[in-house]
């Protein structure tokens, strides 16, 4: 019995030590409940000409407390599938966006 317990315990330790992919991006939408849309920029070198191009990817991430706002710089981490399109979760808000007061000088 101890062998099966050790195997199960070892598997959970191994799974806990998995390093998941983390990326930094900008929130472009927070209209959904507990979900944000994050845009990621990356630079890719053209195969033939060598010019660096800016590519974008858009991911939906889980925001449990609805803390992220549009324009915030956030750190997201890959996780298990949470819904049909949601595979990421919000780890932290790195930088808050400046608030637009609608032309009112304060």
Specify the DSSP class assigned to residue 98: P
Judge whether residue 104 has pLDDT over 80.
no
The tokens for 73 are 């710089």
The whole-number pLDDT of residue 15 equals 63
For 7, the 3-state DSSP assignment is helix
- Residue partners of 96: CB distance under 8 A and separation at least 6: 69, 72
Q: Which domains does the chain have, with CATH numbers?
A: 20-95 (2.40.50.140)
Judge whether residue 38 has pLDDT over 80.
yes
- List, for residues 61-95, the tens digit of each pLDDT value: 999 999 999 999 999 999 999 999 999 999 999 99
For residue 49, count other CB atoms closer than 10 A to its CB: 7
- Residue partners of 34: CB distance under 8 A and separation at least 6: 62, 63, 64, 66
Percent of the chain whose predicted confidence (pLDDT) is above 90: 73
Judge whether residue 3 has pLDDT over 90.
no
For 5, the 3-state DSSP assignment is helix
If pLDDT is split at 50, 70 and 90, which confidence band does 30 have? Answer: very high
The tokens for 25 are 């991006």
CB 91 within 8 A of CB 75: yes
């Amino acid at each position: 019995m101890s062998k099966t317990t050790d195997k199960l315990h070892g598997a959970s330790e191994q799974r806990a030590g998995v390093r998941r992919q983390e990326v930094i991006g900008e929130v472009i939408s927070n209209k959904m409940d507990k979900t944000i849309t994050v845009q990621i920029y990356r630079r890719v070198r053209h195969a033939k000409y060598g010019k660096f191009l800016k590519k974008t990817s858009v991911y939906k991430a889980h925001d449990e407390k609805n803390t992220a706002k549009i324009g915030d710089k956030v750190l997201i981490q890959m996780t298990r599938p949470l819904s049909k399109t949601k595979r990421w979760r919000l780890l932290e808000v790195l930088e808050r966006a400046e608030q637009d007061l609608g032309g009112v000088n304060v």
